Amino acid sequence: MNLLIAGTIGLDDIKTPFGKVESVLGGSSIYASLAASFFGPCGLISIAGQDLPSGSTTMLQKRGIDLKGLEMSDKTFRWSGSYEFDMNEAKTLKTELNSLQGFNPKLPENYQQCKAVLLGNIDPIVQLKILDQVKGDPFLVTDTMNYWIESQPKQLRKVLARSDVVVINEGEARQLFNTPNLIVAGRELLALGPKYGIVKKGEHGALLFSEHKYFSAPGYPLAELKDPTGCGDSFAGGLIGYLTKTNDFSESNLRRAIIYGSIVASFCAEEFGTGYINNIKLNDIKERYDAIKEICKF
């Protein structure tokens, strides 16, 4: 298996100014692996419960997502959140950890050799347990969020130090490094050990920091967005899917991967939950890639 994607599986209740959905399939590993699936297969590492909507596993497998690393337990993790008018930040209304509690991932035999790993947003202790079972030196992308920054700072820093790329969102970067300045935050992120730091800025795009370089990716111009849930995970999934497919982990290819990740995230935002997945093809993604080329030209 060339690509592993780890993270949560959840059943989400989502409310935005444009509507609401209940108990839809979500979680960081779902959004990320679906995003990656436009570029090639991957192996999922996660845990869910018997209450998973029927058809979920078949849908994932049809998209080339290997489920040998999916543990089945009693009840799936549940998340309930809402967005205000500006859609900038989800307000978490409720979480039920359920199967996530005490999740102790075991890597299947065919997962242990791989080229790339995405540690999606999940407890850093779980991220470390996965890392310790991976053989060789795959390209490692880690995504995290403020909750772990606050509750598991030590474990999180261990993961960040071992990562090639750390992805974090704008607000969390400012919070983690206690600065309003994203350029300063990006530099501090690199000081924790990763080779690259990516700050996601939603509608404003993303910034890539490396030792001597800096890349600014524009956001794809969306006039209508319905639900930002999973956009960050889709960004990371699209990014690592593209890197793995092209088998080129250089800085210049990482720039292209960021554009692809942003585009998959832009499609994700246009529908509730993972609703976009059946409506678009790789060709739609390529069209937006060409559009972004034009958008940046001067």
Q: Does 19 bind its own copies (CB under 8 A)?
A: no
Identify which of residues 159 and 258 has a Cβ nearer to its own copies in the complex: 258
Name the amino acid, one letter, at 242: Y
Q: Does 250 bind its own copies (CB under 8 A)?
A: no
Encoded tokens for 185: 């935050």
Q: Does 18 bind its own copies (CB under 8 A)?
A: no
Could you give the CA distance from residue 4 to residue 116 in angstroms, rounded to a whole number? 6
Encoded tokens for 192: 């924790």
Identify which of residues 166 and 217 has a Cβ nearer to its own copies in the complex: 217
Binding mask 201-240 for its own copies (x = CB under 8 A): x-xxx-x-----xxxxxxx-xxxxx---------------
Least distance (Å) between residue 221 CB and its own copies: 5
Identify which of residues 115 and 187 has a Cβ nearer to its own copies in the complex: 187
Window 74-133: residues binding its own copies (CB under 8 A): 85-88
Q: Please write down the HEC assignment for all residues of the chain.
A: CCEEEECCCEEEEEEECCEEEEEEEECHHHHHHHHHCCCCCEEEEEEEECCCCCCHHHHHHHCCEECCCEEEECCCEEEEEEECCCCCCEEEEEEECHHHCCCCCCCCHHHCCCCEEEECCCCHHHHHHHHCCCCCCCEEEEECCHHHHHHCHHHHHHHHHHCCEEEEEHHHHHHHCCCCCHHHHHHHHHHCCCCEEEEECHHHCEEEECCCCEEEECCCCCCCCCCCCCHHHHHHHHHHHHHHHHCCCCHHHHHHHHHHHHHHHHHHHCCCCCHHHHCCCHHHHHHHHHHHHHHHCC
Identify which of residues 63 and 256 has a Cβ nearer to its own copies in the complex: 256
Interface size with its own copies, residues (CB under 8 A): 37
Window 146-205: residues binding its own copies (CB under 8 A): 180-184, 187, 201, 203-205
Name the amino acid, one letter, at 69: G
Interface residue with its own copies among 4, 126, 168, 258 (CB under 8 A) is 258
Identify which of residues 153 and 221 has a Cβ nearer to its own copies in the complex: 221
Least distance (Å) between residue 191 CB and its own copies: 13
Encoded tokens for 63: 């998209």
Least distance (Å) between residue 298 CB and its own copies: 4
Stretch that binds its own copies, among 151-159, 239-247, 256-264, 267-275 (CB under 8 A): 256-264
Identify which of residues 136 and 180 has a Cβ nearer to its own copies in the complex: 180
Identify which of residues 119 and 231 has a Cβ nearer to its own copies in the complex: 231
Identify which of residues 50 and 88 has a Cβ nearer to its own copies in the complex: 88
Q: At what angle do helices 251-269 and 28-36 cross, to 10 degrees?
A: 110
Least distance (Å) between residue 149 CB and its own copies: 19
Could you give the CA distance from residue 173 to residue 146 in angstroms, rounded to a whole number? 9
Least distance (Å) between residue 247 CB and its own copies: 18
Q: Where along the sequence are the contacts to its own copies (CB under 8 A)? A: 85-88, 180-184, 187, 201, 203-205, 207, 213-219, 221-225, 252, 255-256, 258-259, 294-298
